[in-house]
Amino acid sequence: MGTTATVECVVLGAGRSSRRVLFSEPHHPRLGSGCALPYSADRGEKSVNREALDELKQQIPLLDYLQAQDWQPVRPLSGGRWMGLCPLHADRKPSFLVDPSKSLFYCYGCGRGGDVIRFAEIYHDVKFPQALALLRQWRGLAPLLQQATDFYRLQLHRHNEAVAYLHQRGVRSPELIEHMRIGYAPGGAGLRAWLTQLGYPLSALRQTGLVTSLGYHAYVHRIVFPLEGNLYGRSLSATAPPHRFLPGSKGGLYAWEEARRYPELILVEGLFDYAVLWQAGFHNVTCSLGTHLNARQWQQLCANPRTVYLSFDADANGSGPQAAQQLAHRLEAHGIPARRIVLPEGHDPNSFFVQGGDTGQFQSLLEAAQP
């Protein structure tokens, strides 16, 4: 990565038939490796030179970034290389080749490859300048958010009110808590002291939104769920706003790398809905964190033929069922079979299980789901 040594690579766009490796430059051609001029940003307002790109890629190993997006290697190859399922398309068998020593990837299924910058362009569906911005942000924020997540996870079982709240919401399985990496933000100066002791300046904490401009913690008395480049906090207090995110995108569909492997998916609104379903054995569940899907979530859902079961809240005002109906029609129009699970009025999946529902009863609702 960033080295001038000749590296093995595959012709992009050649598909499955072309397995020859032809990269002889440190950068992928898409990134302008054959061009002597600096890369141009939007409207030529500023430029990025080759040295700056090399430095960025040295700071962000491709394998680290892939694993931060929940990619997992499946099969080792010679030379320290790995094969796994491609995160860029609906892959049924491992076709995604990663060479960590050269920080290059190639997919024999969709024919795309390159370095970490090219991956960010494709994965996040953004242009070159936006990919650089995302990578720079991740370079600075991802380790910080991971440290914050670790701190919150340590606090969970130290505070009885947090454990009691989880039990109240039907979350009891240690396996589930580990799977979702659930934590607790107790308030006080603990997080700030923890992170500054690790060497993070207060300005970095403010940049992420973990600490406000006035120096207060953003998450106080909240159950915390780590997301893709964000954190979701659910308040234990009835007087505080119930939901809180850090500034920025909520990311893709929750736990997508596990859910995407199933031909039938259950889509829910909230993380506690996800939690009780996963705990009940429905591991083909994912969460959109609301009824509105962002562009990336929509792309994920439609990337491969599958049946989607929508289990939105059965709100008394009809907003949940209406949102489910609209999304079902939209999915059907794109060739994705959709079914709406009809919960008892006033219930969501979480309250359904909390108030006595079980796996068999929810399975019956699945089987009775409506187009």
Rounded to whole angstroms, the Cα distance separating 301 from 286 reads: 10
Distance from the Cα of residue 45 to its chain's centroid: 31
HEC string of the chain equals CCCCCCCCCECCCCCCCCCCECCCCCCCHHHCCCCCCCEECHHHCCEECHHHHHHHHHHCCHHHHHHHCCCCCCEECHHHCEEECCCCCCCCCCCEEEECCCCEEEECCCCCEECHHHHHHHHHCCCHHHHHHHHHHHHHHHHHHHHHHHHHHHHHCCCHHHHHHHHHCCCCCHHHHHHHCCEEECCCCHHHHHHHHCCCCHHHHHHHCCECCCCCECCCCEEEEECCCCEEEEECCCCCCCEEECCCCCCCCCCHHHHCCCCEEEEECCHHHHHHHHHCCCCCEEECCCCCCCHHHHHHHHCCCCEEEEECCCCCCCHHHHHHHHHHHHHHHCCCCEEECCCCCCCCHHHHHHCCCCHHHHHHHHHCCEC
Q: How far is CA 165 from CA 182, 190, 220, 224, in A?
A: 12, 21, 14, 12
Give the span between the Cα atoms of 146 and 7, in whole angstroms: 32
Give me the mean pLDDT over the 189-193 stretch.
91
Q: Given phi > 0 = left and psi -120 to 50 = alpha, else beta, which region is 197?
A: alpha
Please give the pLDDT value at position 122. 92
- What span, in angstroms and rounded, lies between the C-alpha atoms of 91 and 253? 17
Q: Which residue has the tokens 């979350």?
A: 171
Tokens of 343: 């919960």
Residue (of 194, 176, 190, 259) closest to 221 by Cα position: 190
- More confident site: 334 or 4: 334
What is the average per-residue pLDDT within 37-54? 55
The model's pLDDT over 273-291, given as tens digits with 9 standing for 90+, comes to: 999 999 999 999 999 999 9
| Residue 324 confidence (pLDDT) | 95
- Give me the mean pLDDT over the 34-52 stretch: 48
Averaging pLDDT over each range in 12-26, 121-135, 191-205, 343-357, which range is the top one? 343-357
Neighbour tally for 158: CB within 10 Å: 10
Per-residue confidence (pLDDT) for residue 240, from 0 to 100: 94
Using alpha carbons, list the distances in angstroms from residue 113 to 13, 130, 230. Answer: 9, 18, 27
Dist. CA 243–CA 351, nearest whole Å: 17
What integer pLDDT is reported at residue 18 of this predicted model?
35
Residue from 299, 295, 310 nearest 264 by CA: 310
pLDDT at position 124 is 87
Model pLDDT for residues 320-370, shown as the tens digit of each residue: 999 999 999 999 999 999 999 999 999 999 999 999 999 999 999 999 999
Return the pLDDT at 37. Answer: 33
Of 227, 234, 225, residue with least CA distance to 253:
227
Q: 150 pLDDT exceeds 60?
A: yes
| pTM, 2 dp | 0.67
Q: What is the mean pLDDT of the chain?
A: 84
Binned at pLDDT 50, 70 and 90, residue 48 comes out as low
pLDDT confidence of residue 257: 87
Out of 12-26, 93-107, 356-370, which region has the weakest mean confidence (pLDDT)? Answer: 12-26
What integer pLDDT is reported at residue 239 of this predicted model?
A: 92
Q: What pLDDT score was predicted for residue 337?
A: 96
- The count of other CB atoms within 10 Å of the CB of residue 325 is 16
Query: What is the model's pLDDT at position 20?
Result: 35
Q: Please write the tens of the pLDDT for every residue from 230-262.
A: 999 999 999 999 999 998 778 889 999 899 999
Distance CA 92, CA 120 (A): 22
Nearest-angstrom CA–CA distance, 91 and 116: 20
The percentage of the chain sitting over the pLDDT mark of 70, rounded to a whole number, equals: 87
**Average pLDDT estimate for 202-231:** 91
Q: Which two tokens stand for residue 307?
A: 């049946």
Amino acid 200: pLDDT? 83
Task: Average the pLDDT over each of 18-27, 103-112, 131-140, 312-321 and give the range with the smallest value.
Answer: 18-27
What is the structure's pLDDT at 229? 80
